[in-house]
Amino acid sequence: MRWKGVIEEYKEYLPVTNKTPFVTFYEGNTPLIESRHVSRLTNCKVYLKYEGANPTGSFKDRGMCLAIAKAVEKGRQAVICASTGNTSASAAAYAVRAGIDCIVIIPKGKIALGKLSQAIMHGAKVFEVDGNFDEALNLVREMGEKYPVEIVNSINPFRIEGQKTGAFEVCNQLGAVPDFHAIPVGNAGNITAYWKGYNEYKAAGKINSLPKMIGFQAEGAAPIVLGHLVKNPETVATAIRIGNPASWKQAEAAARDSGGSISIVTDQEILDAYKVIAAKEGIFCEPASAASVAGTLKLHKAGKIPEGSTIVCVLTGHGLKDPDTAIKQGTKPALVPCKITEIVKRLGY
């Protein structure tokens, strides 16, 4: 049967009325791929939920379709978001689909190239501000209070509602509930959404246990782990360069109530995992996404994940989002004369 997209597929679990339009690019239904390499390294069963396979290349599409649909249902002509990139790419595309305007506020110079190109191409009104993501979000909150624009950051509850469907899919694809659910944490909407999804699936009688939620923040942007705001967050994983997460309390509750944790991974650990996932699994994710695998490896090493566990790592965004980091991290192509002898010499044939 043809996949109908998040709103229609999961409507019995979503706040959908007969007036909610089915705004969709057929998001969701993303692959759950066994990671042979990380499974071998950890003696666990590790699966990668490849959310980069969504239509705009990130998990944001799951919640954006619903947030945009509800904005339209409410009669809004425009949506607005602050973004480290993926939210704006998704909002811009879905706004076009729904026939409304999209306003995007981004921190200057810190948006990965692919994401910025998406917002631009979809015709969003893009403003770079002289501030970080947290300051951009404050501006957006004020705009939402004073003007008839719908905020589509994850402070919009419909974003969380849509994103929770990722948890349903993991359970359906696995035919079981994972022991651990590993996920990068930025604004903390996604860990909140997955935890909500698992709990609702359990309440609906579809599953009878819950995973331990293990969230990971980058070392230079780890307010939840540190227990205080980070004024000038910095990390190579620009998607999670956030110092004051909107869903801070909910993320702490997810970690605590599930018996999991939120902990730190360094930029180096993120980059190592980023390269391993691409080179050993053939899956290209963006740096922030690799935090889930980096963190899994770290907790396993620290003896906090028993052997034989089933672990799902969410790969939140596609590697093509951030070509600059990929090219910086990878081996440069060898520049050679266009002669077969030159090639085979270097290949050692």
The answer to whether residue 162 forms part of the interface with ligand AN7 (CB under 6 A) is no
- 8 A C-beta contact, residue 57 and residue 36: no
Determine which residue in the list 30, 42, 87, 165 makes contact with ligand AN7, applying CB under 6 A.
Answer: 87
Crossing angle of helices 60-73/86-98, nearest 10°? 40
The answer to whether residue 239 forms part of the interface with ligand AN7 (CB under 6 A) is yes
- 8 A C-beta contact, residue 216 and residue 263: yes
Q: Is 187 annotated as a binding-site member? A: yes
Among 9-17, 27-35, 82-90, 196-204, the segment contacting ligand AN7 (CB under 6 A): 82-90
In the bound state with ligand AN7, the residue whose beta carbon lies nearer, of 5 and 215, is: 215
Q: Is 188 annotated as a binding-site member? A: yes
Q: Is 52 annotated as a binding-site member? A: no
Element (H, E) at 229: none
Cβ atoms within 10 A of the Cβ of 26, count?
A: 16
| Residue 242 CB contacts under 8 Å (≥ 6 apart), including other chains | 84, 133, 134, 186, 187, 221, 223, 233
Q: Are strands 45-50 and 32-34 parallel, antiparallel or unpaired?
A: antiparallel
- 8 A C-beta contact, residue 62 and residue 28: yes
Determine which residue in the list 271, 316, 319, 325 makes contact with ligand AN7, applying CB under 6 A.
Answer: 316
Min separation Cβ 3 and ligand AN7, Å: 22
CA count, 13 A, side-chain hemisphere, 108: 3
In the bound state with ligand AN7, the residue whose beta carbon lies nearer, of 156 and 289, is: 289
Determine which residue in the list 154, 156, 244, 325 makes contact with ligand AN7, applying CB under 6 A.
Answer: 154
The answer to whether residue 58 forms part of the interface with ligand AN7 (CB under 6 A) is yes
Sign for the CA dihedral angle at 86, 262, 248, 174 comes to positive
Determine which residue in the list 56, 190, 250, 263 makes contact with ligand AN7, applying CB under 6 A.
Answer: 190
Q: Is 91 annotated as a binding-site member? A: no
Determine which residue in the list 162, 166, 186, 243 makes contact with ligand AN7, applying CB under 6 A.
Answer: 186
Determine which residue in the list 132, 250, 263, 289 makes contact with ligand AN7, applying CB under 6 A.
Answer: 289
The answer to whether residue 271 forms part of the interface with ligand AN7 (CB under 6 A) is no
In the bound state with ligand AN7, the residue whose beta carbon lies nearer, of 21 and 278, is: 278
- 8 A C-beta contact, residue 63 and residue 159: yes
Distance CA 48, CA 31 (A): 8
Instruction: Look at residue 211 and give its three-state secondary structure.
Output: coil
- 8 A C-beta contact, residue 135 and residue 112: no
In the bound state with ligand AN7, the residue whose beta carbon lies nearer, of 289 and 325, is: 289
The answer to whether residue 63 forms part of the interface with ligand AN7 (CB under 6 A) is no
The answer to whether residue 83 forms part of the interface with ligand AN7 (CB under 6 A) is yes
Among 81-89, 259-267, 270-278, 302-310, the segment contacting ligand AN7 (CB under 6 A): 81-89
Q: Which of 167, 326, 170 is nearest to 236 (CA)?
A: 326
Among 26-34, 78-86, 116-124, 341-349, the segment contacting ligand AN7 (CB under 6 A): 78-86
Footprint of ligand AN7 (CB under 6 A): 58, 83-87, 154, 184-190, 239-240, 286, 288-289, 316-317
Q: Which residues are annotated as a binding site for pyridoxal 5'-phosphate?
A: 86, 186-190, 316
